[in-house]
Structure 1
């Protein structure tokens, strides 16, 4: 990427967290049977961590105690800049009653039907982010219709 034509900014941690607070969804990355897998999830920031809901299954089992990555991205409202934030850390199921009760208020509504009664927390080891100018889309050239010939 040529920084002269596409200025990229490295985001400080506080800006990354602010962007994540407004992100509707992101992607959870983990390794299953030696292969990277990506899961779309909705997550919420909770005291410097991320919390998401899932069901009991491969995602929950493989994420438990594992190093994971979470990525979210978006475009600013005016469309001038895009951003991407990546968190790397360890995931674990929230099991203590007091901790679980403190996450109940988070607006974590599953996208697909079914029981999603496992709340998991990602404790970050690192958070990185960047933003960059969006390249304008060139005007489409008019292709003559068959009736124009």
Structure 2
């Protein structure tokens, strides 16, 4: 990790992935009607891939057409003034293979919104970066 002049430490890819694995909620950024859209989501880090469970007819499901998306998760303690932020960019895809659907259904990934959530989006994180607020 390198500390820059603003007091932030740049994180390695492995450190970023380790931090992503510690939190169940993040934000996905995708394009909707030619404009950027941001949606909070429950997710699970499956190796180096971000897995999101949603409904087939959701706005988010539209982001699965091999589109480039960004994903961000963070944690901040205002009392201690410590925290981190990780951003991943990559292609999203809808999961259609029955064997992969069965495997993903077994992951400890729950959706906080009510209703059927049997559609999976996987973001293959190609670029990952992060910062930690130095204490």
Shorter-chain TM-score range: 0.7 to 0.9
Structure 1 residue ranges without an equivalent (≥5): 135-149
Kindly provide the CA deviation profile for residues 63-110 of structure 1, in whole angstroms up to 9, marking residues without a partner as x: 32100000000036x935210000000111111112122212212111
The structure with the greater share of residues assigned to strand is 2
Residue of structure 2 equivalent to 1:37? 37
Quick check: 12-21 or 105-114, which moved more?
105-114
Task: List structure 1 segments (4+ residues) > 3 angstroms apart after TM superposition.
Answer: none
Structure 2 residue ranges without an equivalent (≥5): none
Structure 1 residue 94 corresponds to structure 2 residue 95: yes
Residue of structure 1 equivalent to 2:68? 67
TM-score by length of 2: 0.88
Q: Is the 8 A contact 1:73 1:84 kept in 2?
A: yes
The alignment partner of 2:66 has SS state of coil
Matched pairs, number: 130
RMSD between aligned alpha carbons? Answer: 1.7
Return the index of the structure with the highest Cα Rg. 1
